Chains A and B, each alone.
Chain A
Amino acid sequence: MVEDELLKGKVGEVLDSYKGERKDLIPILQQMQASFGYLPRVAMIEVAKFLCIPGSSVFSVATFYNQFRLNPPGKHPIKVCLGTACHVKGGERILESWERELGIKVGETSKDLEFSLERVACVGCCAMAPVSVVDQAVQGKVTPTRVKGILLSFQLEKEKQE
């Protein structure tokens, strides 16, 4: 497939900066995810070949760590904090609001690939709980109404562009 070939090329670019030592596996996967947004199957197989280890070893590491995703994220990733402080301040209610407003469950990506929803455990801003991270920006003291507001601003932005 053409797409796969293209991907392999890009994977090669990432791999060029490594020597091929086993200890580089996690940093390589991290860089892959930074470039592609997730870990495509083809890429993981290429990494295995590069490090001369079985594909299953790459896959086992990729599935062990929460950070790695095996499917593409939405254009705007949304991470809802469910750390202790956020839980105590009603983080679950906020997660439910996101789920309701976006019509997707946690761990899913919306059909139009605009949004994906994830839960995280503490982003280190407990004093601002409950916290959601929208497109890398930390949003503190989120309420169900703020959730609606944030989504509305995305929609307005999109309409303006069209």
Chain B
Amino acid sequence: MTDHPSQIQTTFAEIQSKTEARASRDTGKVSILIGTATCGRAAGALEVVQTFTDELARQEIDAQVSQVGCMGHCYAEPMVIIQKPPYPPICYGYVTPGIALRLVEDFVLGDDPCLEFALGALEENELIPTVFELPRFKYDMRLILRNCGYIDPEDIGQYIQGGGYSGLAKALQMRPEGVIEEVKNSALRGRGGAGFPTGQKWDICCYAPGTPKYVICNADEGDPGAFMDRAIVESDPHSVLEGMIIAGYAIGASCGYIYVRAEYPLAVERLTIALRQAQAYGLLGDNIMGSGFNFSIELMQGSGAFVCGEETALIAALEGRRGMPRHRPPFPATQGLWGKPTSINNVKTLSYVALIITQGAEWYRGIGTEKSPGTAIFALAGKILNTGLVEVPMGTTLRQLIYEIGGGVPKGKRFKAVQIGGPSGGCLPESLLDTSIDFDSLSAAGAMMGSGGMVVLDEDNCMVDTARYFLDFTQKESCGKCTLCRLGTKQMLDILDDITRGEGRCEDIDLLIELAEDIKAGSLCGLGKTAPNPILTTIRYFRDEYEAHIIDKCCPAKVCQELVGYYILPEKCERSCDACVGSCPTEAVYTAKRGIKAIDQEKCVKCGSCVDACPPQYNAVVKISPKSLIPPSPPPKDG
């Protein structure tokens, strides 16, 4: 296969020049990039696209409008980048159709770059401050997010122009063992959660007896708070395909599958387009770039089961069965899909591969920490100012990530905990914020790199409720195969339910810990083995909150419905305003003597509508826990 390096080089050069010819036609024009991944769309990006296209057409301006993926700055969506030489590319945030009209009028037609709407320039220049002076951009180190939000994911040409598929061209000129060796030397660890060395997995798979061999890309992303795999697939699908093809070449597979979550329709659409284009360019299919290597990729949609993210369950789903995990070993690398050696890797893991091949293992190992080289990608969500995706070198501390990059907790609230790694991970308190972000430090603290979901909790979040939330999730998603996972999680959930209802007993905490250890020991797959983590870490770091629920029947964060009541402070109530009365869906709010409003605790469903309805200048509705502290309600006016 490796006899014709020059042939491969020539074929790849031809492919590159094809895309260059297309690109040169467009230079000189004003180019407008609009982020239309799922998050942008939710913020109204498609209306912004429409406004730009309509207005440019109306004014008969010859500019190019492209829909790009997600830059990861979800807090500032919809985002727009305008390239108008000689100006540097400028990035705008929070763009509305109104702002879009202004940008066309003043900047595309005129010469005012409307800096009041700009986040900054994307290149060093003398006129305009760059975005890289903002902390949210400054710490970002974009390896696999490098293209996200900058290229049109539906145009393979833009990916190739940025150096795309040169990793594949280079790999095809190497011997397969050489490719595996390079990945091994890079010490790349799988980003699907467990951090298994990718090179080693490929090595095992390559030398395992049995043909054909398979490559699977795990894009199931089941953690209910993570969206980086979605963002990569929607914004830069070819980087994943390129990694897969290289993996296939390295282990000697000729067929690959991508297993995508059904909840991600746009990801499926963009992958389908990407596959078609790669095929058309001869980057997939038979005799890729004249190397003699054949590889095809099929797309398979998941059907909504968290456990199918687990590799053996995923394989069962691909085979058309119920997605239940099986005992390992044998690991999929030796016996996977249809019993054949199968290398299964996460989306992010595969996205690194081409970079490692082009830039070398040394380069990759120079980033991050010794044991966890490279970057970490997190989806920042919850009570944090700058929500979205960040990519930082491993070894960054949680504090830097949350305060400097994420901008801290909004509305002046106090930070309480950060949940990392989703349902398998744990909650870490303020005192552990100086923990370095890498596979081993996070595990030592009781959390887990996991999927990379990172949800920040503030003083208004209850830790018992948070633990209950995750357990409720894993309990529902448990496939039911292992008794301890199926019944044990249910028992734990019942105990947590009791605690959040104020019916907990003092011995419950120890009982939870005991059950947790048993479930960990008695479950086959990672779902059961890690399901107790959220409970164990919250007990470890926030035991006082459990005790407040059990002993004082008090939810300190005032979240657990059964333990809180709503009360209208008479001294703050404006009396003549009826906002709360009108807002109540159950007629629990009534008017008492002298126009003061009060709440009938029996009728109240605790929906919180009255809190929202009460004008901020009065702020008269409060939550009280324990309920025994609520003063008795006054009689109604006419009663």
Contact = CB atoms under 8 A, between A and B. Distances in A.
B39 A84 contact: no
Among A84, A120, A137: residue with most chain B CB under 10 A = A84
Interface string A1-28: 0000000000000000000011111110
B42 A131 contact: yes
A110 interface: no
B537 interface: no
A144 B612 contact: yes
B303 A144 contact: no
Contacts of B612: 143-145
Nearest to A57: B321
Contacts, number: 141
Nearest to B456: A88
Interface residues of B, number: 59
A66 B303 contact: yes
Contacts of A123: 38, 263
Contact of B455 (A26, A68, A84, A144): A84
Contacts of B305: 64-66
Interface string B430-455: 00000000000000000000000101
B38 A26 contact: no
B607 A68 contact: no
A102 interface: no
Interface string B605-624: 10111001000000000000
Interface in B298-338: 300-306, 317-323
Interface in A21-67: 21-27, 29-30, 60-61, 64-67
B225 A126 contact: yes
Interface in B436-488: 453, 455, 457, 461, 466, 469-470, 473, 479
A105 interface: no
Nearest to B222: A121
Among B301, B321, B381: residue with most chain A CB under 10 A = B381
B300 A122 contact: no
Interface residues of A, number: 47
B41 interface: yes
Contacts of B300: 26-27
Interface string B28-43: 0000000000110111
Contact of A65 (B221, B224, B304, B457): B304
Contact of A88 (B303, B380, B461): B461
Interface in A98-118: 100
Nearest to B234: A124
Given A96-B607, A100-B607, A127-B381, A122 B303 contact: no
A150 to B, nearest CB: 14
Nearest to B470: A84
Contact of B301 (A27, A125, A140): A27
B97 to A, nearest CB: 17
A78 interface: no
A82 B585 CA distance: 22
A141 B618 CA distance: 24
B42 A128 contact: yes
B191 to A, nearest CB: 17
A50 to B, nearest CB: 13
A84 B423 CA distance: 9
Contact of A122 (B227, B317, B323, B382): B227
Contact of A93 (B388, B455, B607): B607
Contacts of A67: 262, 302-304
Interface in B32-91: 38-39, 41-43, 74-75, 77
A84 B607 contact: no
Nearest to B300: A27
Contacts of A24: 320
Contacts of B304: 65-67, 120
A125 B457 contact: no
Given A128-B74, A131-B42, A144-B609, A30 B262 contact: yes
Interface of A: 21-27, 29-30, 60-61, 64-68, 82-85, 87-90, 93, 96-97, 100, 120-129, 131, 136-140, 143-145
Interface of B: 38-39, 41-43, 74-75, 77, 221-227, 230-231, 262-265, 300-306, 317-323, 379-383, 387-388, 419, 422, 453, 455, 457, 461, 466, 469-470, 473, 479, 585, 605, 607-609, 612
22 contacts: A26-B303, A30-B262, A61-B320, A64-B323, A65-B303, A66-B303, A66-B305, A67-B302, A84-B381, A84-B382, A84-B455, A84-B470, A88-B455, A96-B605, A96-B607, A124-B230, A125-B39, A125-B74, A125-B227, A137-B41, A138-B41, A145-B612
Given A24-B320, A64-B322, 10 more contacts: A23-B320, A27-B301, A65-B304, A82-B224, A89-B382, A93-B608, A122-B225, A123-B263, A125-B42, A140-B42
Nearest first, the 4 A-B pairs at minimum CB distance are A84-B225, A127-B74, A83-B224, A66-B304
